[in-house]
Amino acid sequence: MDRPLRVCMVLEGSYPYITGGVAAWVQDIIQGLPEVEFSLLTLSPQANQKLRYTLPPNVIDHVDMVLSDAPRNKEGRKPGKRSLKAVLQFHQQMFENKNADFNALITAPKHLEEFDNGLLRDTSLWNLLLQSNLRKNPAYAFSDYFWAWQSSHRLLFNTLQIKAPEADVYHAISTGFAGLAALTASRTNNKPFLLTEHGLYHKEREIEIRKADFVRGYQRDMWINIYNNLSKICYQSADVVTALFEENRQKQIELGADPKRCIVIPNGIDIERFSSVERIKKPGFHVGLVGRIVPIKDIKNFITAAKIVLDQIPEAVFYAIGPTDEEPDCYKECVAMVESLHIQDRFIFTGRQNVLEYYAFLDLMLLTSVREAQPLVILEGWVAGVPCISTKVGNAPEMLDYDERFLAPSKDPEKIAKNVLYVYNHPEEMKAINERNKQKAIRLYNKKDLIQRYRELYAQFKEKL
């Protein structure tokens, strides 16, 4: 194939509209592979969002879809027999915990929009809902079950309708609806399907669902089952599945990924950029958290830990370094919490900043998230010369050698504060630990190695075209 390889990246609720680790990873891959042409298929919660990244010149196409606004059949056409059979068979296989025949669902329907209003017009589909309600939801009104079923499955059917840009490879950056859209495009166009996961999508959604007070028991179970089955389908169908670390790879294999096609490609950072930081010691003790002011970063945990530490180290200063505009309500709550604890003179929300300027003087970094995959900020801090304390999320425990001096359970500000005091009281020991961690990051987490792995992976697909 003489022309450049064309890769369609499929993303849900991420790049190029949201900043963060996954979005930065996507930008790095695209910029690092200028010889590859990229198309973007993005699935968004709303239309006309503001771009947070400048798209590199090798992004030749971008299609943004709002799933809830996907085209629907206004006439309420009844499903055809092949479509109906595929849907019924698919659900029966899932009910019996069998491997669902997703290919039949893709290839059978000619007009998937039939399943919007057409769903109400077919006796077989209606009976399916009645039986499901009796089996799973006998204590609630059927109307509640029906609307929950329709709202969830409408998103699935809308995803199946999406027309993806033409490409040689479809590369989903998660399972879920992005994985479903990439798999559909792959099967429709007879092209390879590559799946990359940073966190585990179905586990992340399950955490969110279980925390949502408005999702009742049967609705909770329905959504969790949908996300679990989407992940299973993607794992079983992908030509290659990548994970950031071995623990996640094993979980992918447990849900059906072929071990021979499931590989680990760790995250990476720009070693030269972060090692160029010139450290300048400032008076006092300076503690930072680099991240968006959003709930999953648990900034309130950071604030509580700051209050505990300030009672012991009054000269300490804490910095929340990151954008404050992604979830304004969360930011307002955090500001109010700081004020209520009377630490506003020692706690600073910096907004979006050049993190190198802060790595130059920070004495310590904290990561208080309730969910992470393989946090880049830990690596950035190490290479710049800043130690890190983290909650036990994602791959952080392995990165920190399972050392309890630098790890804390989620939602445990007392343990975080205890670890902060340890770092403060052992400056000489920390110098040796910092150097060891810096060398580990340079050896194992170089962005150049990450990009080269994906260059080689894409090249394997190109050879088969």
Kindly state the tokens that stand for 68.
Answer: 């809830």
Mean pLDDT on 67-74: 60
Q: Are residues 191 and 301 in the same domain?
A: no
d(CA 253, CA 259): 6
> Does residue 353 surpass a pLDDT of 60?
yes
Q: Are residues 135 and 167 in the same domain?
A: no
Asked if the structure places residue 75 within a domain, the reply is: no
> Does residue 367 surpass a pLDDT of 90?
yes
Mean pLDDT on 168-183: 96
CB atoms within 10 A of CB 426: 12
Asked if the structure places residue 50 within a domain, the reply is: yes
CA distances from 388 to 226, 347, 420, 445 (A): 37, 18, 9, 16
Domain boundary among 153, 175, 202: 153
**Predicted local distance difference test score (pLDDT) of residue 43:** 96
Q: Are residues 343 and 306 in the same domain?
A: yes
Q: Are residues 344 and 435 in the same domain?
A: yes
| Residues of the domain holding 230 | 6-70+162-267+449-464
**Predicted local distance difference test score (pLDDT) of residue 150:** 77
Assign 317 to helix, strand or coil: strand
Q: Are 297 and 369 in contact (CB under 8 A)?
A: yes
Mean pLDDT on 400-418: 97
Between 235 and 213, residue with greater pLDDT: 235
Domain boundary among 105, 133, 153: 153
Chain segment 290-313, per-residue pLDDT in tens: 999 999 999 999 999 999 999 999
Q: Are residues 275 and 378 in the same domain?
A: yes
CA distances from 272 to 119, 405, 434 (A): 57, 28, 17
β partners of residue 170:
8, 193
> Does residue 155 surpass a pLDDT of 90?
no
**Predicted local distance difference test score (pLDDT) of residue 110:** 47
- The proportion of the chain whose per-residue pLDDT surpasses 70, expressed as a percent, equals 88
Question: How, if at all, do strands 193-196 and 240-243 pair?
Answer: parallel
Asked if the structure places residue 36 within a domain, the reply is: yes
**Predicted local distance difference test score (pLDDT) of residue 442:** 96
Confidence of residue 138 (pLDDT cuts 50, 70, 90): confident
- The proportion of the chain whose per-residue pLDDT surpasses 90, expressed as a percent, equals 69
Asked if the structure places residue 76 within a domain, the reply is: no
Q: Are residues 170 and 225 in the same domain?
A: yes
Among 69-83, 328-342, 354-368, name the one with the lowest average pLDDT: 69-83
Among 152-156, 214-218, 432-436, name the one with the lowest average pLDDT: 214-218
Chain segment 42-55, per-residue pLDDT in tens: 999 999 999 999 99
Q: Are 269 and 378 in contact (CB under 8 A)?
A: no
d(CA 270, CA 272): 6
Asked if the structure places residue 54 within a domain, the reply is: yes
Residue 245, phi then psi, degrees to nearest 5: -155, 165
> Does residue 77 surpass a pLDDT of 70?
no
Q: Are 29 and 169 in contact (CB under 8 A)?
A: no
> Does residue 56 surpass a pLDDT of 70?
yes
**Predicted local distance difference test score (pLDDT) of residue 105:** 66
Chain segment 94-125, per-residue pLDDT in tens: 555 556 666 666 665 545 555 555 555 667 77
Q: Are residues 424 and 454 in the same domain?
A: no
Asked if the structure places residue 105 within a domain, the reply is: yes
Among 141-145, 220-224, 418-422, 437-441, name the one with the lowest average pLDDT: 141-145
Q: Average pLDDT, whole number, for the chain?
A: 89
DSSP 240-290: EEEESSHHHHHHHHHTT--GGGEEE----B-HHHHHT------SSEEEEEE
**Predicted local distance difference test score (pLDDT) of residue 463:** 84
Domain boundary among 153, 180, 197: 153
**Predicted local distance difference test score (pLDDT) of residue 76:** 47
d(CA 98, CA 422): 51
Q: Are residues 107 and 206 in the same domain?
A: no
Q: Of 364, 291, 370, 362, whose CA–CA distance to 331 is shortest? A: 291
Q: Are 373 and 398 in contact (CB under 8 A)?
A: no
CATH of the domain at 244: 3.40.50.2000
Chain segment 254-303, per-residue pLDDT in tens: 999 999 999 999 999 999 999 999 999 999 999 999 999 999 999 999 99
R_g over Cα of the chain: 24
Q: Are residues 348 and 391 in the same domain?
A: yes
Q: Are residues 455 and 436 in the same domain?
A: no
**Predicted local distance difference test score (pLDDT) of residue 88:** 61
Q: Are residues 102 and 245 in the same domain?
A: no
Among 97-111, 156-170, 382-396, 425-439, name the one with the lowest average pLDDT: 97-111
Asked if the structure places residue 1 within a domain, the reply is: no
**Predicted local distance difference test score (pLDDT) of residue 189:** 93
> Does residue 126 surpass a pLDDT of 50?
yes
Q: Are residues 408 and 299 in the same domain?
A: yes
Asked if the structure places residue 208 within a domain, the reply is: yes
Give the chain's domain count. Answer: 3
Among 71-75, 184-188, 456-460, name the one with the lowest average pLDDT: 71-75
> Does residue 322 surpass a pLDDT of 80?
yes
